[in-house]
Chain A
Amino acid sequence: MLELSNITAGYERGKPVVRDVSLAVSRGEAVGLLGPSGCGKSTLARVAALLHRPDAGTVVLDGTTVTDYRHRAPRALRTTVGVVFQSPRLSADPRLRLRDLIAEPLKATGRRIEIRERVDELARAVGLGGDLLTRSVHEVSDGQLQRACLARALVLRPRLLICDEMTAMLDASTTAALVAAVENYRRETQASLLAVGHDQVLLDRWCDRTVSWDVPPPA
């Protein structure tokens, strides 16, 4: 599903944050990527999500070798991946209502017709009940907002889900609820998962295998 080979990536010329790293996620597999703060695991996740162009190395996503990143990536490839970031506050437009937040990827890809049915279905799946969907982003708690961000990541039915420290800001119960929502989605769709985090206990419990950053990840 995802093959990262000899990826080198960074933000400044000559100062790579990620050096020659390889990682593979097979179809339907859940891989945990474990590493300390600041080791470059989020950068690698951004490369895998086509959000950051690597300086060297190849990314093969769903059998296609990736040549363009960010807005230049072909839509079909971009929508193969769903991403949930660590901080829901920073990844949600504060002016939107949760319903619009979840529906945004559908609007952006010209699939408005699916909005009504899909948003309600996902709201149920991530446990957003009541009038929460009509609330603005600033009117909900971090936990509720992260539920909405997970729904947004799932709305286009991605075949690969990347969770970059999805639960680092959340309490134990919300963490367990979100992981359960991800696993329900994966059971229905056989989607793959790359979960980036620093909590070994959580990743071991959640994923099929956990790759530790300090030993070079096996290809």
Chain B
Amino acid sequence: MTAGTLNATLSVRNLSVRFRMRGGRHIAAVTDASFDLAVGECLALVGESGCGKSVLASALLGLLPANAECEGAALLDDGTDLITAGERLLARTVRGRRIGLVPQSPAAHLTPVRTVSSQLSETIRELRPVPRQERRAAAHAAAGRAAFPADHLDRYPHELSGGLAQRAATALALVGDAPLLLADEPTTGLDRALVERTADELRRTVDEGRALLMITHDLAAAARIADRVAVMYAGRIVELADATRFFGEPGPLHPYARGLLDALPERSFQPIPGMPPELGDLPAGCAFAPRCDLADALCGTQPRFDGRVACHHAHTEDPSRA
């Protein structure tokens, strides 16, 4: 992974986000994250809840609270730096137009007192030059793209099941035809068939020439649509891998990623012992070491991310297969 990769829709460089807390404490939510995302590519960012995945997404959209301090850069293809861009620029040209957000909790994202149809129409009015009388038809079309049933368009968000609310939110994100989609847990609360349908729908929008950063804990959904997988642990990207290699043979390199896959019910269904560390109180060395059975004295120092993995004891591939 080199700086300034061609065709990268999004280049994140050494992005760190810290929250200033009372009493001079700091919470290091994201530390030194770097990755590239190109058109036609889906990158899945996976990790346990509370590892900093959603903070990373909020940073890219300039939606962090006032006590957040960012370092590093996140460049769009025309050189716009999302980290230093002002609110005015983000609001007028970026959100919805260049980056579409599929939110984590659609029930909280949708306006509770207005129907789905009215919210779609409003978004269309703001983002696309559609004449007034054609807006309803455009809203229908937008709903159809996210597989939202047309006969539910006049319902209010509280009248929708979790799955339908998710699809309504996805439809809103697709309205502006943004070249980059950020999906924050797009499949949470959906049943398996709907997960696959939502995932396939997102994949189709990627194949139409968009880039997708999908933040998820659903490894099955990630395996279904991702081209590459980034594993995040305690605010750091600890592994960045090709999805086929990650989910198939030889599997992940980082012991945390291996443990995460092993916890799946179709694999050994064994949890990783312990819990993730507090982001306000990270150890000096490898943050995973206290839960890792390979840990030794070397793990007291922070492992360097070499572009594939950050671990002193990464799983070694069988050289005959490499």
Binding site for B on A (CB under 8 A): 35-38, 86-87, 127, 129, 140-144, 165, 168-177, 179-180, 198-202, 204-206
Contact = CB atoms under 8 A, between A and B. Distances in A.
Given A36-B193, A38-B161, A141-B50, A171 B269 contact: no
Contact of B217 (A36, A87, A171): A171
A172 B191 contact: no
Interface string B239-276: 00000000000000000000111011110011110110
Nearest to A180: B271
Contacts of B48: 141, 143, 171, 173-174
Interface of B: 46-50, 161-164, 188-194, 217, 219, 259-261, 263-266, 269-272, 274-275
Nearest to B275: A127
A173 B189 contact: no
B265 A198 contact: no
A168 B188 contact: yes
B189 A169 contact: yes
Contacts of B162: 37, 86
B191 A141 contact: no
16 contacts: A36-B194, A37-B189, A37-B194, A143-B50, A144-B50, A165-B189, A171-B48, A171-B260, A173-B263, A176-B265, A176-B271, A198-B190, A199-B265, A202-B265, A204-B265, A205-B266
Contacts of A87: 189
The winner among A36, A173, A201 for most chain B CB atoms within 10 A is A173
A212 to B, nearest CB: 12
B263 A38 contact: no
Task: Sort A-B residue pairs by CB-CB distance and give the 3 closest, nearest first.
Answer: A141-B50, A198-B191, A37-B163
A211 B201 CA distance: 29
B164 A173 contact: no
Contacts of B271: 173-177, 180
A52 to B, nearest CB: 16
Given A37-B162, A172-B261, A141 B49 contact: yes
Task: Specify which of B46, B49, B192 lies most central, judged by the most chain A CB atoms within 10 Å of its CB.
Answer: B49
Given A38-B163, A142-B49, A179-B269, A172 B217 contact: yes
Nearest to A175: B263
Contacts of B191: 35-37, 198-199
Nearest to A165: B189
Contacts of A35: 191
B49 A129 contact: no
Contact of B47 (A165, A171, A175): A171
A172 B190 CA distance: 16
B131 to A, nearest CB: 35
A89 to B, nearest CB: 8
B49 A143 contact: yes
Contact of B275 (A144, A198, A206): A144
Contacts of A37: 161-164, 189-191, 194
Nearest to B187: A168
A169 B188 contact: yes
A172 B260 contact: yes
Given A171-B49, A173-B260, 10 more contacts: A36-B193, A37-B162, A37-B189, A171-B46, A174-B271, A176-B263, A176-B269, A198-B192, A201-B265, A204-B265
Nearest to A203: B265
Nearest to A36: B191
A87 to B, nearest CB: 8
Contacts of A168: 188-189
B222 to A, nearest CB: 11
Contacts of A199: 191-192, 265
Nearest to A181: B271
B225 to A, nearest CB: 17
Contacts of B275: 127, 129, 143-144
